Amino acid sequence: MAVAELTTPTWTKQGLGSSHLSYLSARTSSCRRLSFRPLRRTHSSRISCSVNQTAQAPAAVETEVPKSNKPDCFGVFCLTYDLKAEEETKSWKKLINVAVSGAAGMISNHLLFKLASGQVFGPDQPIALKLLGSERSFQALEGVAMELEDSLFPLLREVQISIDPYEVFQDVEWALLIGAKPRGPGMERAGLLDINGQIFAEQGKALNAVASRNVKVIVVGNPCNTNALICLKNAPDIPAKNFHALTRLDENRAKCQLALKAGVFYDKVSNVTIWGNHSTTQVPDFLNAKINGLPVKEVITDHKWLEEEFTEKVQKRGGVLIQKWGRSSAASTAVSIVDAIKSLVTPTPEGDWFSSGVYTDGNPYGIAEGIVFSMPCRSKGDGDYELVKDVIFDDYLLKRITKTEAELLAEKRCVAHLIGGGVAYCDLPEDTMLPGEM
């Protein structure tokens, strides 16, 4: 995944018409006509912080840049993207703004084209993409924007690229936070939590300052549960319920393994829950899951396989993929992000549910409050969700839920300095390395 380095920019967003795609860039390019205007303010986003320090709020910096006139349109958009007069646009919905961090990375390379094509929000939903990259990935980000331009998506009305989250998150209704630093050789997990935590603390502040008050946030960058917690704690004006940590890929992996074992296609598998952390302590729940409407344990009678091989396969699937392919999952992660969004914007099928890492305050399961924990959810298709109450537990399931809960509580203590909890104290029970951290 691309590292979400955040540095002070030298430009700001332009007013854009809805009939053409525009690129906003802080650099000159031989094949782009670019425009600039003075900034009212920008934000320094480099924060230096260790696990025993308290993060400081970003300082405002005044920056002046030259003015120039922005052309009304350029290239193909002058000829083919002025669709105002066409009949089909009369039935289109209001434009939505979607931000993606780590936008030059492999996951985004799969995801962005699904978003732009209408596969995610629907064939009548015009979209503006706000792409956040880093200083070192900016040229690649320009290449991504060029590919989006060359794809001629009628629904894609605007593309903005920046290295400043305060620019990218302006008025967004969805924020897909993919960019994070991978764990390097010799790095302790506590160090990864601190480094990535600083990124997500800054992004939480930016969302709080400029995003829509009802923005939906999906955190993908690992460790995603605790990064989501940091982000929401730094965005107090946005409902905590609006923040999600991506565990849908784990759910999809669990459905695949159950389908293979039962000899059915995956669409016959339902009611699968991933409980807890996106780590090797996660709990794929086969007790409540169903195959062809029947409890999994009635269809798959090899209960030892369920408790041992199935659980371990799901927990370690990402690591095995890295060993086979030499890189972490990208396409399947992008698909799972799409699935996670669709689960919130379309009604959940009757009797089914989906997994998402959400804030635990008020949960009906007795799980500790104040953490982001993957649990079963249902949605009416309005972007919101409710926790499922009609689930059952046994000693096996409860024991494993307790273990993943303890890990998330330990991670919370490790990032206390980033969530207003005072001095951090790292006592992680074990190093449950996430797939893709190395």
**Tens digit of each residue's pLDDT (9 = 90 or more) over 84-106:** 555 556 778 898 999 999 999 99
Cα separation, 299 vs 274, whole angstroms: 20
Predicted local confidence at residue 328, as pLDDT: 84
303 annotated active-site? no
Q: Which of 244, 278, 303, 417 is catalytic?
A: 278
d(CA 260, CA 293): 16
Question: pLDDT-derived band of residue 318, with 50, 70 and 90 as boundaries?
Answer: confident
**Residue intervals in the chain for CATH 3.40.50.720:** 72-243
Higher pLDDT, 142 or 260: 260
The CATH 3.90.110.10 portion of the chain extends over: 248-418
pLDDT of residue 184: 64
**Residues 13-60 pLDDT 10s:** 333 333 333 334 333 332 332 222 223 334 433 322 223 333 333 443
Structure tokens at 317: 């699937």
Lowest mean pLDDT among 108-112, 114-118, 320-324: 320-324
CA–CA gap between residue 209 and residue 97 (Å, rounded): 16
Q: What angle do CA 271, 277, 278 make, to 5 degrees?
A: 85
Q: Which CATH architecture has domain 72-243?
A: 3-Layer(aba) Sandwich (3.40)
Q: What is the pLDDT of residue 51?
A: 30
Q: What confidence score (pLDDT) does residue 87 get?
A: 53
Give pLDDT, residue 412: 96
Whether pLDDT at 218 is above 60 = yes
- Enumerate residues 6+ apart whose C-beta is below 8 A from 298: none
pLDDT of residue 185: 63
The mean of the pLDDT values for the chain is 82
- What is the pLDDT, as a whole number, of residue 432? 61
Question: What are phi and psi for residue 116, nearest 5 degrees?
Answer: -70, -25
The answer on pLDDT for 258 being more than 50 is yes
pLDDT at site 28 = 31
What number is the average pLDDT over the span 107-133?
Answer: 95
Q: Can you tell me the mean pLDDT for 330-335? A: 96
- Confidence at residue 181, expressed as pLDDT on a 0 to 100 scale: 84
* Domain 248-418 grouped into CATH 3.40.50.720: no
| pLDDT of the residue at 187 | 67
